Structure 1
Amino acid sequence: MKRHAAFLLAALLFTGGLARDAVDQWIDRTDLPPLTVATGTEVVARDGTLLRAFTVADGRWRLDPGPVDPGFVAMLIAYEDRRFYDHPGVDPLAMLRAGLQALWNCHVVSGGSTLTMQVARLLEDSGTGRLDGKLRQIRVALALERRLTKEDILGLYLRLAPYGGNLEGIRAATLSYFGKDPRRLTPAEAALLVSLPQSPETRRPDRFPETAAKARTRVLDRMVRDGTMEDDRRSAALTEPVQKARHAFPAYAPHLAERLARERPDAHRIETTLDARLQASLETLAARAMRFSGARTSLAILVADHRTGDILASVGSPDWTNANRAGFIDMTRAIRSPGSTLKPFVYALAFDEGLAHPETLIEDRPTAFGTYAPQNFDRQFRGTITAREALQLSLNIPVVSLTEAIGPARLLAALRQSGGHPDLPGGQPGLAVALGGVGVTLEDLVQAYAALARLGQPIRLHTTPGAPEAVGQRLFGPEAAWLTADILAGLPPPAGAPAHRIAYKTGTSYGHRDAWALGFDGAHVAGVWMGRADGASVPGAFGGDLAAPILFDAFARLKPAPDPLPAPPPATLILPTARLPQPLQQFRPRGAAFSSATDAPEIAFPPNGAEVEAGPTLALKVRGGTPPFTWLANGAPLILADRARETALRNPGQGYITLSVIDAKGQSATAKVTLRP
């Protein structure tokens, strides 16, 4: 009877039961709840496409409605509160009708609540079955109408209406149930959404599709009965199936989106420079690439427009929910060894300082730089070659020679000028930085390659639309940058990759922990990293084999054909070796000492005097010498004519052992080691 009394009290209130002045004072003294409704942060692409949304503090999906289909709004008002634009917050006719029906039938037949009263209830979560709760809704509704416009009140409803589970507001509902924004809804979709807030849990289409369908039908029937919908449109709407499963909310660029939301906790909408189509395509590419890799292997991709600095896509991992791959770690920002990817900058700096030219002859032979004696990746030496060939083959000894000439600190300074933040173990740069002896991120490398693509002029990569370019000091002259890019553009694409002519470089860090590919054309720059997030080795991982095909695929998904690289600057020296100025025809390292011409072999492992744990096999490594090699243990030949520089001795036993290696020229080396249990 309390509910019936509330209906009658409201009816009396608006049929002259109370003095007007007393009513006005009662309304004006109302303490309203906060009218600012918190909505989840949204991160959107450059075209406004939703990349990722976040729940509000209590875990509910509540988003800004944005544009809403006018047909839905009209159906909502026609069904819930047809005199919405005429009443002052409470509809006395509807309340009187509901009260009389309740008295006559001894139970509630139809509700008398207006949309404004429903907003009042949602703002305060006041009960609907108690007299004091109903009176409070009436009072708040009347006060709301005096302080807000009808559109403001409708906007609050569209944000707060419950749609089942943790869904609140029209946009959360349409994204979850239909996978789209509410700007365009079919009559069937609109009718379902009109019916849900009346009983959001029992009519949830993902749990009770039959009940939801019946509620939808009642709304459509009312629309026909009231003359706001033709019967043929109702019949067509009833043929649409009710969605029986919720759609996942968009979660593109999840790592970047989460970082931006964390940096701007008060922002409701964060606009970015990302291209939604490209981002989705590259996330698909990353997931596909991981199908054929180890269970713990991860991957990251970054693409930017180096003309503006806009980051167009950022893939931090193949699957941010995959714990085995540590997918929650954003590998575009993880510090890793760059392998050979810094070599182009050594050459560009050397070209800029007049120390070398692409056609300068340079030595690739065993060389010692003090106590540092680098080896090529394949342990082979090419003798005298051009700098162009040395960079394209990614040889180590020539680039260390150039690094020794320009100074490793100069290379690090160039990385910092490009906007990177190299992490140097020990603080003092050595010659090994040219071979990956420094920590960098994928973002650092893509930014550095953007400067190379811009003929030496750096630019700050960013995700904020309209951000200033923040151009800094040149890394090197445009001529040196163009010559380096020309060398990289001469590399053939990886097997099976699209035949796009882009300038690119691959790299593999020590122990096969990181596989890299960086590349650019006349407009865009991209980088790919592959490895394990925990830094463990990935046997057989090479940048050229794994990362480079993904780089070329990323460019193919970016656009149909690459933009041409710029023409050579006017002062560029394009000559063969013989026509170069004499100092540029041959490069000699300043402080290097070449090994003897005999290039005698040396046992690199196990070193002389070492104690090694005995196992089923003993690893053997030889440095220098001429293959094939013969290995002896205590004078007995055990491995014959082996061309590999790394092999294994089976069942070596325990105790003292004398290892010897003999190369093809009869030169030998010996090491005495102890094999302990």
Structure 2
Amino acid sequence: MPALLRGRRWARGLLGLAGGIVALAGALLALDRALPPDLSRLEAVGRVVVDREGRVLSALPAPGGVWRLPVSAEEVPRALVDLLVAAEDRRFRWHPGVDPLAVARAALGGLRAGRVVSGASTISMQAARLLEPRPRTLRSKAIEAARAVQLEWRLGKAGVLRAWLTLAPMGGNLEGVRAGSLAWFGRPVERVGVAEAALLVAVPRRPEALRPDRHPAAALAARDAVLRRRGAAALPVAEREAARAEAGRAGDGAVPWARRAMPGLAPHLAREVAGGPMAGASAGVVRTSLDAGLQRGVEGVAAAVLAGLPARGSVAVVVADLRTREVRALVGGDWLAEGRAGAMDLTRAVRSPGSALKPLLYAMAFDRGLAAPGTVMEDLPRHFGDWAPENYARGFSGRVTAAEALRGSLNLPAVALMEALGPLRFASALKALGAVPRLPPGTGPALPLALGGVGITLRELVGVTAAIGDRGRAGALRVLPAGPGGEGAAPVLRAGAAEAVAGILVQGFPGGGPAGVAWKTGTSWGGRDAWAVGFDARHVAGVWVGRPDGTAIPGATGRGTALPVLARVFALLPPAPRPGEAGERAVARAGVVDGLRLLFPPAGAVIGEGAVTIRAVGGQRPLVFLVDGVPVAAGGARREAGWVPPGPGFYRVTVVDAAGAAASAPVRVGGVPGVE
């Protein structure tokens, strides 16, 4: 019986203890919920924008101008965390936020000496103080201890390390090892050496007294103390020897004597993506599709060009991968130059493209059989309703091929093609290519689209041009890396038509430059916008030069002002020349790709009453040419035949090959002359 009573008492005791533990846990949980730690400083961070390889492009400060950049223990070298733990909190891995042994040691030392001789602050307690700074009092210490346990409970060891690494003061307005590494060493924290890591651990102890730029000797001593007496003990032998060698190579040269400027490549794009979707190891790192080396080179070219521009003149540049449409370099203007509207991203400014859209117009005309590179067209004075367009040089060239008209940027043939194609169809193609047309209020698509009568941005123009260089595929430019399948895009043009136009545009740069680049220029009315776009086999690029306020730069043209810049940009890229396919070679290639087709006259053409040369491409020879079902002379092994219309009227021209394939086009003889 006594044993049974003892058992019952023991059971009741266990139940009481368990109840007490549950009650205590409940009370602590309620207290934690009632008084949660303030993590706002940890979340109020700046952004780091990196390129496609993770190289830093730009850093943007946190609100208030503080350089507080987030970082986690997984992102820094292992030696940095090892040095931190060894120097500041050797038992960090096992204590719950407060180290009882360190507290006891500090208390005994203080009693014996009558003053504080050693601290008991753990990394967790330091993180609590960094999150919620307080005066250095015993009461504050008690609160920090409670918060440290709370942080360990909520965030775990990794979260506590993240807080310390992000918030540790590095002197001045620098916080965290990422900002410290960029400012003191000019490199990402991921790439610091052991001695540099030791300095980052040492400075937060007395951030103003140990600033390397103001107190280099003190900073050097503190760093060496971390390496010799504390931190180095935590390192493997090989790393310890490497750290000593690194620290001793240049005497005190391993300690920086000046603070470096924060990286600031691609400032317009950095601010664009900083508030958008994030990609990277932490929420504060944004990975873009840019190439840091190319970006630096393009910015150098732009700076040299800006030096030679008149007041308020500016330049914008976009370079992208032709297949993926990933932007590799982007210059939005002269950053923060007030007179040049430097804060405005001019790659997104809506401007008039002049003749820079003509390649798309010709590609669509080739695609629909309205013309081909060898088609003879008339560059002569002509009215389109009440409109009588002129060429930029005011003169006329007479009869030219379509290839010559495109290379020479002649206006009359382009407007004639727009009339045959239809402005609405052209505007729809622009929209499909990601360039929604901006038209004057209350108007719809009209013939002036052929000469730049539409608003477009440089980014959109580069995207449209990329479709010509990429076998007719649509695809919007992207500044974040493409995921799997990022190259998949619907074609808006037949490959043969796009390649024919690309071949026509492959020509040497007038002032010299890389070979095998297809290019086109454009100048808006009054010289307000000078454009040049081009592509080789791997990249597409575009340049805009003008004034952000829309006023003209006297004498500025696409060919004379923007094209030399484009040549310098392509000189920065690895050579990837395209084959040139101008004139009849382009005609032949288009014929092979697209099968039997009538090149001239195109469907719906209005031609004069003189002799006409009917031309065809593709198909299996011999060819037979017919007009209204009646064979005409020549043909056979040749791909053309002469025909003299008997008089004005409507006719159907047909070609039949040896395999029985046929192509035909209705035409009109007489009336207003059109293409020929």
Map of 2:37 onto structure 1 = 33
Q: 1:240 to 1:470 in 2, by over 3 A?
A: closer
Query: Is 1:463 aligned to 2:470, yes or no?
Result: no
Q: Higher helix fraction: Structure 1 or Structure 2?
A: 2
408, 426, 429: which one aligns with 1:393: 408
Query: Is 1:289 aligned to 2:312, yes or no?
Result: no
- Taking the aligned partners of 1:218 and 1:574, their CA distance within structure 2 comes to 85
Map of 2:124 onto structure 1 = 116
How far residue 52 of structure 1 moved from its aligned partner, in angstroms, is 2.7
How far residue 335 of structure 1 moved from its aligned partner, in angstroms, is 0.6
- Taking the aligned partners of 1:96 and 1:26, their CA distance within structure 2 comes to 27
Map of 2:456 onto structure 1 = 440
Map of 2:350 onto structure 1 = 335
How far residue 164 of structure 1 moved from its aligned partner, in angstroms, is 1.7
Q: 1:375 to 1:222 in 2, by over 3 A?
A: same
Query: Is 1:367 aligned to 2:382, yes or no?
Result: yes
Q: 1:320 to 1:20 in 2, by over 3 A?
A: same
- Structure 1 counterpart SS, 2:190: coil
- Taking the aligned partners of 1:41 and 1:492, their CA distance within structure 2 comes to 42
Q: Which amino acid aligns with 2:53?
A: D
How far residue 440 of structure 1 moved from its aligned partner, in angstroms, is 0.8
- Contact between 2:375 and 2:599, CA under 8 Å: does it hold in 1? no
Map of 2:205 onto structure 1 = 198
Map of 1:3 onto structure 2 = none
Q: 1:574 to 1:112 in 2, by over 3 A?
A: farther
Q: Which amino acid aligns with 1:338?
A: P
CA RMSD of aligned residues (A): 3.5
Per-residue CA deviations over 1:75-100 (Å, capped at 9, x if unaligned) read 22222222323444333443344345
Q: Which amino acid aligns with 1:196?
A: V
Per-residue CA deviations over 1:525-558 (Å, capped at 9, x if unaligned) read 2211111111111112121122222223322322
- Structure 1 counterpart SS, 2:593: coil
- Taking the aligned partners of 1:218 and 1:410, their CA distance within structure 2 comes to 74
| Structure 1 residue ranges without an equivalent (≥5) | 1-18, 595-677
- Contact between 1:522 and 1:565, CA under 8 Å: does it hold in 2? no
Q: 1:480 to 1:561 in 2, by over 3 A?
A: closer
How far residue 173 of structure 1 moved from its aligned partner, in angstroms, is 0.9
- Taking the aligned partners of 1:510 and 1:268, their CA distance within structure 2 comes to 44
How far residue 56 of structure 1 moved from its aligned partner, in angstroms, is 2.8
Map of 1:430 onto structure 2 = 446
Q: Which amino acid aligns with 1:536?
A: T
Query: Is 1:263 aligned to 2:269, yes or no?
Result: no
Map of 2:86 onto structure 1 = 78
How far residue 251 of structure 1 moved from its aligned partner, in angstroms, is 2.5
Map of 2:49 onto structure 1 = 43
Query: Is 1:325 aligned to 2:317, yes or no?
Result: no
Query: Within 5 A, what are the aligned runs for 1:180-329?
Result: 180-223=187-230, 233=245, 235-236=248-249, 238-264=251-277, 268-317=284-333, 319-329=334-344
- Contact between 1:366 and 1:375, CA under 8 Å: does it hold in 2? yes
- Structure 1 counterpart SS, 2:355: coil
How far residue 564 of structure 1 moved from its aligned partner, in angstroms, is 5.1
Q: State the number of aligned residues.
A: 572
Per-residue CA deviations over 1:36-84 (Å, capped at 9, x if unaligned) read 8313333332222233333333432222325222222222222222232
- Structure 2 counterpart SS, 1:455: coil
73, 76, 80: which one aligns with 1:68: 76
Per-residue CA deviations over 1:217-274 (Å, capped at 9, x if unaligned) read 4434534997975696464474324323222222322222222223348953333322
Map of 1:580 onto structure 2 = 615
Query: Is 1:495 aligned to 2:519, yes or no?
Result: no
Map of 2:539 onto structure 1 = 524
- Taking the aligned partners of 2:673 and 2:49, their CA distance within structure 1 comes to 57
Q: Which moved more, 1:238-247 or 1:575-584?
A: 575-584
Q: Which amino acid aligns with 2:265?
A: Y
- Taking the aligned partners of 1:225 and 1:335, their CA distance within structure 2 comes to 59
TM-score, structure 2 as length reference: 0.76
How far residue 212 of structure 1 moved from its aligned partner, in angstroms, is 2.5
- Contact between 2:183 and 2:262, CA under 8 Å: does it hold in 1? yes
- Contact between 2:278 and 2:287, CA under 8 Å: does it hold in 1? no
Q: Which amino acid aligns with 1:277?
A: G
- Taking the aligned partners of 1:454 and 1:306, their CA distance within structure 2 comes to 7
Q: Which amino acid aligns with 2:509?
A: P
How far residue 333 of structure 1 moved from its aligned partner, in angstroms, is 1.0
Q: Which moved more, 1:85-94 or 1:567-576?
A: 567-576
How far residue 590 of structure 1 moved from its aligned partner, in angstroms, is 9.4
- Structure 2 counterpart SS, 1:486: helix
- Structure 2 counterpart SS, 1:342: helix
Per-residue CA deviations over 1:175-212 (Å, capped at 9, x if unaligned) read 11111122343343223222211111232223333443
Q: 1:69 to 1:469 in 2, by over 3 A?
A: closer
Q: 1:384 to 1:215 in 2, by over 3 A?
A: same
Map of 2:183 onto structure 1 = 176
How far residue 33 of structure 1 moved from its aligned partner, in angstroms, is 0.4
How far residue 506 of structure 1 moved from its aligned partner, in angstroms, is 0.7
TM-score, structure 1 as length reference: 0.76
How far residue 290 of structure 1 moved from its aligned partner, in angstroms, is 1.7
Q: 1:184 to 1:275 in 2, by over 3 A?
A: closer
- Structure 2 counterpart SS, 1:384: strand
- Structure 2 counterpart SS, 1:341: helix
Q: Which amino acid aligns with 1:49?
A: R
Q: 1:404 to 1:589 in 2, by over 3 A?
A: farther
Per-residue CA deviations over 1:251-308 (Å, capped at 9, x if unaligned) read 3222222222233489533333222322222222212222222242211111222322
- Structure 2 counterpart SS, 1:340: helix
376, 380, 383: which one aligns with 2:395: 380
| Structure 2 residue ranges without an equivalent (≥5) | 1-19, 582-588, 601-611, 617-624, 628-639, 644-666
Map of 2:148 onto structure 1 = 141
- Taking the aligned partners of 1:591 and 1:251, their CA distance within structure 2 comes to 62
- Structure 1 counterpart SS, 2:315: strand
- Taking the aligned partners of 1:477 and 1:146, their CA distance within structure 2 comes to 62
How far residue 516 of structure 1 moved from its aligned partner, in angstroms, is 0.8
Q: 1:579 to 1:405 in 2, by over 3 A?
A: closer
Q: Which moved more, 1:415-424 or 1:119-128?
A: 119-128
Q: Which moved more, 1:507-516 or 1:403-412?
A: 403-412
Query: Is 1:484 aligned to 2:501, yes or no?
Result: yes
Q: Which amino acid aligns with 1:247?
A: R
Q: Which amino acid aligns with 1:118?
A: Q
- Taking the aligned partners of 2:528 and 2:154, their CA distance within structure 1 comes to 64
Q: Which amino acid aligns with 1:164?
A: G
Q: 1:537 to 1:106 in 2, by over 3 A?
A: farther
- Contact between 1:459 and 1:469, CA under 8 Å: does it hold in 2? no
- Structure 2 counterpart SS, 1:73: helix
- Taking the aligned partners of 1:472 and 1:242, their CA distance within structure 2 comes to 52
Per-residue CA deviations over 1:427-470 (Å, capped at 9, x if unaligned) read 22332221112111112211111222233232232233335659
